[in-house]
Structure 1
Amino acid sequence: MTSGPQTITSRDNALLKELRRLAQDNSAYRKQGRLWLEGDHLCRAALQRGMVPTHALFQASYWVTHGREWPGDIGKVVIVDDALFAQLSGLESPGHMGFVLPLPEAAAVDPEAASVVLDGVQDAGNVGAILRSAGAFGFRQVLAIKGTAALWSPKVLRAGMGAHFGLRLVEGLDTVQLQVPILATSSHQGEFLHQARLPWPCAWVMGHEGQGVSAALMNQAAHHVRIIQPGGEESLNVAAAAAICLHASAAARV
């Protein structure tokens, strides 16, 4: 049993100051050892994955209208003045409520797992979308090379919409040593994806939005693959390319 809700009406509240940093600083989760999830959809996705928050923060007006919809086992309930919650949020349109979760323990790389390697993918929206595709198409491990957007940052969590909690995530890597074949996309070399015989399990490398996959990982790749683009565009958005490639791998297994 938890005690009754706490109410925060001062912007100088110590908890609010800590959570403001957590919500607005992409690397604060590493220092604080906890995560900020904002928005009811993301928070419900975390509960469905068995995650247990330490705190649940609600905008005061949202709590009045929707508080009874939430279960009792969501940690310490904190009601925050509407204007203060807007200052806490890192979003243009505040999500009205959020969870604080312990940062999951760092995972070790599984060299035999079907994986997605993020090689300097910097846009949080792209990273979150790729995590969603990885989970949807059976790639349970995502490895982030240094220079990739922080995997547990609020914006990547928001874009991932709960996919994080079903994946093995390893970040801050200098390189990867895997026993599964590495596949790299390229606009200039390799066979077309729809004609390729794709190995399973494998590791797909997705590169920087502008520079693509690094030379080092291109050299490590066992296969280079191109996505057919009859419309004539030079390249695809990396999240779109990832979805196409991961779906192709999943379809090849059926």
Structure 2
Amino acid sequence: MFHQIDSPQNPQFKAWAGLLESRGIRKQGQFLLAGLKTVPEALTRWPDLFSRILIRHPEWIADWPLPENVQPVVLAGPLFRELDVSGTDYPILVGQVPEMPPADLSLPPEGLELVCALGDPANLGALLRSAAAFGATKVILLEESAHPFHPKCLRAASNGVFSLALARGGRWADLAQAAGPLLALDAGGEDLVTYPWPQDARLVLGEEGQGVPADLPATRLTIGTTGAVESLNATVAASIALFTYHAGG
């Protein structure tokens, strides 16, 4: 039996529409997941995270083995298109945001942990995808960071977010007392290629274009380039660093 919603004034629909922004995600503790590959994979690997699947036509999921906890909801065309911001024209999952406990930065890192302040959700999503691919043990999100379950972040992360340990990290000032070693990507530092990576470390990533604060007590690492461009995108640079650590391990 399918539940159907046709009115934009429906309280449940209005709540889901709020999940298109970080404020609504924080308030409700839920998120929307869209994508032709990500939705079936998420249902298979992390079914307990989800409670609803939003569709335009029942035949979309006629042969899907839905978990018992996932209820189908049919939305009128205009309502579905409002939520389908990526234009997938494919079922959308409603999920519960996993717990993101506060990080205790006074404790030493275990493996390679990322400390992140990327404010653009698409950049953050790309970083999370690389973090999952190269085995980062934890991603600590500072207050300046975008929400990891923003639709743009989830789209770029390609489900990488679900396999990562996420934690809240407070403000930049909190890093002054953080246990190290702390590492940061910056011009004029040690060569990333020859740097002897410690097994346990925290790699700190600043906002695109701003980098990390100059007074951050961290070892600076530099990625050598041809100099044809002034700098690398923060996510690209972080991915290169993650690969270098992973390859060296």
Partner SS for 1:173 = coil
One-letter identity of the residue aligned with 1:181: P
Q: Does 1:101 align with 2:95?
A: yes
Provide closer, same or farther for how the CA distance between residues 230 and 130 of structure 1 changes in structure 2, counting only shifts above 3 A: same
Aligned to 1:199: 198
**Structure 2: distance between partners of 1:131 and 1:207:** 14
2:182·2:202 contact (CA, 8 Å) conserved in 1? yes
User: Which of 51, 62, 67 matches 1:67?
Assistant: 62
One-letter identity of the residue aligned with 1:14: P
**Structure 2: distance between partners of 1:43 and 1:140:** 24
Provide closer, same or farther for how the CA distance between residues 190 and 172 of structure 1 changes in structure 2, counting only shifts above 3 A: closer
Partner SS for 1:205 = strand
Matches within 5 A, 1:18-37: 18-22=15-19, 24-37=20-33
| Shift of residue 141, structure 1, vs aligned partner | 0.7
One-letter identity of the residue aligned with 1:28: G
**Structure 1: distance between partners of 2:169 and 2:181:** 21
Provide closer, same or farther for how the CA distance between residues 250 and 159 of structure 1 changes in structure 2, counting only shifts above 3 A: same
Q: Size of the alignment, in residue pairs?
A: 241
Runs of 4+ in 1 over 6 A off after TM superposition: none
User: Which of 36, 39, 43 matches 2:35?
Assistant: 39
One-letter identity of the residue aligned with 1:243: S
1:20·1:89 contact (CA, 8 Å) conserved in 2? no
One-letter identity of the residue aligned with 1:125: A
Matches within 5 A, 1:1-254: 4-22=1-19, 24-52=20-48, 53-60=50-57, 63-73=58-68, 75-91=70-86, 93-109=87-103, 111=107, 112-113=109-110, 114-119=112-117, 121-171=118-168, 173-174=170-171, 175-176=174-175, 178-187=178-187, 189-216=188-215, 219-221=216-218, 223-253=219-249
1:192·1:227 contact (CA, 8 Å) conserved in 2? yes
One-letter identity of the residue aligned with 1:205: V
Task: Give the share of equivalent positions with the same residue, in percent.
Answer: 31
**Structure 1: distance between partners of 2:30 and 2:206:** 28
Provide closer, same or farther for how the CA distance between residues 104 and 224 of structure 1 changes in structure 2, counting only shifts above 3 A: same
Runs of 5+ unmatched residues, structure 1: none
Partner SS for 1:157 = helix
1:124·1:156 contact (CA, 8 Å) conserved in 2? yes
One-letter identity of the residue aligned with 1:56: I
Show CA shifts across 1:20-49 (max 9, x none).
111x22221111121221224222332343
**Structure 2: distance between partners of 1:203 and 1:95:** 40
1:130·1:239 contact (CA, 8 Å) conserved in 2? yes
1:116·1:206 contact (CA, 8 Å) conserved in 2? yes
Partner SS for 1:18 = helix
Q: RMSD of the alignment, in Å?
A: 2.0
Q: Normalized against structure 2, the TM-score is what?
A: 0.88
**Structure 2: distance between partners of 1:81 and 1:94:** 16
Q: Normalized against structure 1, the TM-score is what?
A: 0.87
One-letter identity of the residue aligned with 2:97: L
| Shift of residue 244, structure 1, vs aligned partner | 0.2
**Structure 2: distance between partners of 1:210 and 1:196:** 24
| Shift of residue 231, structure 1, vs aligned partner | 4.6
Partner SS for 2:42 = helix
**Structure 1: distance between partners of 2:67 and 2:99:** 26
